[in-house]
């Protein structure tokens, strides 16, 4: 291993090289630059690198072993010892005390169910067959292997018209939304109200203007769109209310986009997870020339992969690819090749089907534990449900006191705090581990009042 140490000249001049080395090593251990268990270089090698005698290095090691900073065992060399952890300060202790026992906040899948074995097999096959140029800078649109695999998958599974040449691979949904906002260059984007505040902020920080459009029990109110250049929608499972965009409004939205030459940005964040009837096809299939389709592997596999995709109308492909080039050049390649292999081998389909069954069981258990409670919405699809309550602040306060974290509908309005709006909890059932999920639901039922 390489080890960077700076021996202070003033210490060496006053106390000698051995003390200077001891102090440099001691400081590196205390600062965390040398982690517990880290193996140090052999005395001969370190002596050569520092230009000092081997006996000096050996004496310094022996002194730090005696002080408890290092350990030395025959056959395993000299390593950094595990020092006692410092006591947590007041701020850290308070943060730990606030951590919930149970987390039912929405937004994440069950990452414990990541198909590690299938991913590893796909990764090995992808690396074994990848050309050497795969490790060089690549096309900002993404690897052709993944774009071709997605073209077939999105067509058969989501009804998307997705030729490979119209697909751009991104590092997730947020980057896709940011790239599109930059290409639209300061335009006004209509966004659902309620909706995710973070996405609104992404648009604003990339130069776009945001206007709210109300959502009711049939989805987006198309007649309220006005003169926006684009609208961002979640038609398959609106976030956070969970409603599906009504067929009549889907047609009206396509008509609005064509009449005004506007864009519809379709966020298909959890479209694969439909439970009580056939999945709702993507809106893009109805108007591929007006709809930008955005999807990711974040809910199906895991957010850590940072793999997303845009299916663009032809006139936007070059502009978005150029924006991607000047953003991060291209999304990392090896993950793209592995996902392409996972899709082509149908291991991706098998994982999605297994996940759909698992999440449906979780959804059913949620309804069962709430005792048939009325006012639970958005349960036909996705990884979250909206539970209507009369006093959101009071219920959330009682949930926090019971060690339960949930989402709040009130956080999603464009103008929070407005009186007279519906109140509710946004309950995610993707995140908790299997063994603790039933306990989390029991706490939730107790907070709400079973059957109330």
Q: What's CA 74's distance to the chain center, in Å? A: 45
CA 103, 272, 268, 311 torsion-angle sign: positive
Task: Locate the DSSP E strands across 176-326.
Answer: 188-193, 209-216, 219-220, 230-233, 263-267, 291-296, 308-311
- pLDDT computed for residue 276 by the predictor: 81
| Terminal CA-CA length for the chain | 63
Q: What are phi and psi of 142, to 5 degrees?
A: 110, 170
Regions in the chain scoring below 50 on pLDDT: 450-452
Determine the angle formed by the axes of helices 333-344 and 347-369, rounding to 10 degrees. Answer: 80
Q: Collapsing DSSP states into helix, strand and coil, what is residue 159?
A: coil
Provide the 10 A C-beta neighbour count for residue 337.
22
Q: What are phi and psi of 191, to 5 degrees?
A: -135, 145
- pLDDT computed for residue 451 by the predictor: 40
Report the C-alpha dihedral over residues 53, 57, 58, 62, rounded to 10 degrees: 150
Q: DSSP label at 381?
A: B
- pLDDT computed for residue 381 by the predictor: 93
- pLDDT computed for residue 452 by the predictor: 42
What is the C-alpha separation between 163 and 150, in angstroms, rounded? 9
Task: Locate the DSSP E strands across 291-355.
Answer: 291-296, 308-311
Task: Provide the H-helix boundaries in 133-210.
Answer: 144-158, 173-184, 197-205
- pLDDT computed for residue 92 by the predictor: 62
Is 293 exposed, middle or buried, given 0-12, 13-18 or 19+ CB atoms closer than 10 A? buried
What is the C-alpha separation between 105 and 314, in angstroms, rounded? 38
Cβ contact 251:386 at 8 Å? no
What is the C-alpha separation between 234 and 195, in angstroms, rounded? 9
Determine the angle formed by the axes of helices 437-448 and 347-369, rounding to 10 degrees. Answer: 40
To which residue do tokens 């067929």 refer? 247
To which residue do tokens 């169910």 refer? 113
Task: Spell out the domains of the chain, with CATH numbers in brackets.
Answer: 9-80 (1.10.10.10), 102-112+350-448 (3.90.1150.10), 114-347 (3.40.640.10)
């Amino acid at each position: 291993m390489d080890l960077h140490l700076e021996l202070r000249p003033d210490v060496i001049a006053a106390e000698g090289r051995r003390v200077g080395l001891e102090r440099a090593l001691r400081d590196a251990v205390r600062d965390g630059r040398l982690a517990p268990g880290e193996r140090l270089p052999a005395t001969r090698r370190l002596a050569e690198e520092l230009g000092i005698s081997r006996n000096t290095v050996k004496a310094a090691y022996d002194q730090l072993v005696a002080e408890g900073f290092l350990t030395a065992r025959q056959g395993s060399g000299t390593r950094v010892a595990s020092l006692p952890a410092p006591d947590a300060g007041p701020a850290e202790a308070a943060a730990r005390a606030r951590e919930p026992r149970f987390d039912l906040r929405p937004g994440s899948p069950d990452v414990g169910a990541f198909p590690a074995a299938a991913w590893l097999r796909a990764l090995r096959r992808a690396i074994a067959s990848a050309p050497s140029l795969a490790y060089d800078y690549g096309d900002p649109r993404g690897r052709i292997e993944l774009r071709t695999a997605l073209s077939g998958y999105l067509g058969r599974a989501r009804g998307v018209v997705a030729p490979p040449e119209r697909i751009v691979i991104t590092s997730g949904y947020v980057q896709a939304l940011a790239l599109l906002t930059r290409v639209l260059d300061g335009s006004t984007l209509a966004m659902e109200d309620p909706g995710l505040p973070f996405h609104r902020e992404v648009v604003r920080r990339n130069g776009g203007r945001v206007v709210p459009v109300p959502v009711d029990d049939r989805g987006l109110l198309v007649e309220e769109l006005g003169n926006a250049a684009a609208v961002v929608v979640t038609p398959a499972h609106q976030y956070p209310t969970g409603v599906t965009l009504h067929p009549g409004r889907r047609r009206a939205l396509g008509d609005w986009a064509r009449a005004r030459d506007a864009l519809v940005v379709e966020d298909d964040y959890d479209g694969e997870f439909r439970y009580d009837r056939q999945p709702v096809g993507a809106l893009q299939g109805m108007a591929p020339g007006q709809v930008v389709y955005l999807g990711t592997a974040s809910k199906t596999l895991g957010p850590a992969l940072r793999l997303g995709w845009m299916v663009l109308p032809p006139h936007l492909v070059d502009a978005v690819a150029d924006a991607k080039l000047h953003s991060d050049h291209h999304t990392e390649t090896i993950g793209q090749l592995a996902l392409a292999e996972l899709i082509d081998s149908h291991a991706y389909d098998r994982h999605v089907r297994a996940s759909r069954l698992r999440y449906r069981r979780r959804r059913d258990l949620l309804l069962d534990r709430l005792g048939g409670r009325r006012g639970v919405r958005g349960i036909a699809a996705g990884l979250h449900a909206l539970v209507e309550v009369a006093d959101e602040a009071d219920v959330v306060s009682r949930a926090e006191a019971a060690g339960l974290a949930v989402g709040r509908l009130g956080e999603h309005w464009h103008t929070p705090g407005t009186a007279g709006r519906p109140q509710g909890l946004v309950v995610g059932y993707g995140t908790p581990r299997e063994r603790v999920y039933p306990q989390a639901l029991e706490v939730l039922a107790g907070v709400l009042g079973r059957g109330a």
